[in-house]
Amino acid sequence: MNKPVVYSGIQPTGIITIGNYIGAITNWLKLQDEYDCIYGIADLHALTVRQVPAEYRARALSFFAQYLASGLDPRKNILYFQSHVHEHAELSWILNCFTYIGEMQRMTQFKDKAAKHTDNLNMGLLDYPVLMAADILLYQAALVPVGADQKQHLEITRDIAIRFNNLYSPTFTVPEAYIGKQGARIFSLQDPSAKMSKSDPDPNGAVSVIEDENSIAGKFRRAVTDSENSVRYDPENKPGISNLMTIMSETGGMTIEEIEKNYRDKGYAVFKNAVAEAVIERLRPIREEYTRLMADKAYLMDIARDGAERAGRIARKTLSKVKRKVGLVELK
């Protein structure tokens, strides 16, 4: 590998929304030629909350297929399941011994989740950032595209890497957050002050990339707007309409100005239908490819196996270096 490595992971929980697609996946598609990109389905991470096994297995596979269907090319990127490369868990243990309990207890996500999951306050919740550090450091990733909520985890990853490098000798690349061209932020269709979220309990707030057309049209029809009935971009005073304009512009290719010109006085009903149409058209090939992939599990598994092998090769190299440095006996 000679291009800089980009690593990111996604937990297979909830649904992949058009927010994830517009804000993250379309950025990843632009990176595939310039960087060596590795994307993992973070299926060990999501075990920190209780999952129904059969549903979880199906969802993880479905996420994998949605990534492929969205255009991530398995020949250009390494796409794999975290749990298929056991080096993640192994490095995570070693890094645990270089991470302080206090550091983990200070993590915002831990504090939030600990408050939410009082009935299942397991060690995994506390240890979550160390597993994430292992994900990133195993591949010597230079850049990590993450949302704002994960920046703190990236900081602790850097701290752990620097600590290890200083104690021994340079071992890990110290990664940086990758803030690509600010992908548009997409807000909930039901509450335009909150971001569209893959785990939104209100099914009308978010649209999935593989949703059926009638359902998409219905959600846009019900989208919360204001009563002015004028299509004008004004995120502060008209957050609902402005959000719909962003979605239309990101999926249909028209600029905000063009949308304003075309729809200004057409009324919200007409405009909402047009937004739904743009989204439906953009997602159609993704849904079709997704259906095709899900009907060919053997092919999906071949891609996953190939990804795990390629990821495993890199991971093993880093892990054996780490084991040597900390003084574990090598089997030669």
For ligand LTN, the closer of residues 9 and 183 by Cβ is 9
For ligand ATP, the closer of residues 20 and 318 by Cβ is 20
Residue 81 has phi, psi (to 5 degrees) of: -100, 130
**Residue recorded with tokens 């707030």:** 205
Asked if 219 is an active-site residue, the reply is: no
Cα-Cα-Cα-Cα dihedral of 59, 60, 62, 68, to 10°?
160
Number of helices (H) and strands (E), helices first, in the chain? 13, 5
Binding flag, residue 23, ligand ATP (CB under 6 A): yes
Rounded Cα distance between 154 and 49, Å, is 21
Q: Pick from 4, 71, 74, 147: which binds ligand ATP (CB under 6 A)? A: 147
For ligand ATP, the closer of residues 189 and 293 by Cβ is 189
Question: Residue 110, class by beta-carbon neighbours within 10 Å (0-12 exposed, 13-18 middle, 19+ buried)?
Answer: buried
Binding flag, residue 195, ligand ATP (CB under 6 A): yes
Interaction mask 198-227, ligand ATP, x per CB under 6 A: xx----------------------------
Binding flag, residue 9, ligand LTN (CB under 6 A): yes
For ligand ATP, the closer of residues 163 and 185 by Cβ is 185
For every residue of 68-109, DSSP letters joined together read HHTT--TTTEEEEEGGG-THHHHHHHHHHTTS-HHHHHT-HH
Nearest-5° Cα angle at 188, 185 to 190 = 155
> How far are the Cα atoms of 43, 208, 223, 248, 277 from residue 20, in angstroms, in the given order?
18, 9, 18, 15, 19
For ligand ATP, the closer of residues 198 and 232 by Cβ is 198
Q: Pick from 5, 6, 7, 63: which binds ligand LTN (CB under 6 A)? A: 7
Rounded Cα distance between 116 and 130, Å, is 21
Q: Which does 195 bind (CB under 5 to 8 A by kind): ligand LTN, ligand ATP, none?
A: ligand ATP
Report the run of H or E that residue 138 belongs to, with start and end: helix 123-138
User: Both tokens of residue 140?
Assistant: 């010597």
Binding flag, residue 60, ligand ATP (CB under 6 A): no
Which among 130, 86, 84 has a CA at the least distance from the CA of 107? Answer: 130
User: Both tokens of residue 272?
Assistant: 């909402």
Residues across the chain: 332
Interaction mask 83-122, ligand LTN, x per CB under 6 A: ----------------------------------------
Asked if 321 is an active-site residue, the reply is: no
Asked if 113 is an active-site residue, the reply is: yes
Which among 25, 329, 228, 286 has a CA at the least distance from the CA of 8? Answer: 25
Instruction: Check: CB of residue 147 under 8 Å from CB of residue 20.
Output: no
Q: Which of 30, 76, 113, 151 is catalytic?
A: 113
Binding flag, residue 132, ligand LTN (CB under 6 A): yes
Using CB under 6 A as the binding criterion, the count of chain residues that bind ligand ATP stands at: 20
Candidate segments 131-139, 196-204, 220-228, 260-268, binder of ligand LTN by CB under 6 A:
131-139
User: Both tokens of residue 59?
Assistant: 């969802």
User: Shortest approach of ligand ATP to residue 216 CB, angstroms?
Assistant: 16
Q: Pick from 12, 129, 183, 307: which binds ligand ATP (CB under 6 A)? A: 183
Instruction: Check: CB of residue 141 under 8 Å from CB of residue 153.
Output: no
Q: Which does 23 bind (CB under 5 to 8 A by kind): ligand ATP, ligand LTN, none?
A: ligand ATP
Q: Pick from 38, 65, 91, 144: which binds ligand LTN (CB under 6 A)? A: 144
User: Shortest approach of ligand LTN to residue 84 CB, angstroms?
Assistant: 14
Q: Pick from 85, 132, 137, 196: which binds ligand ATP (CB under 6 A)? A: 196
Q: Which residues bind ligand LTN (CB under 6 A)?
A: 7-11, 42, 45, 132, 135-136, 144, 146, 150
Q: Known catalytic residues?
A: 113, 195, 198
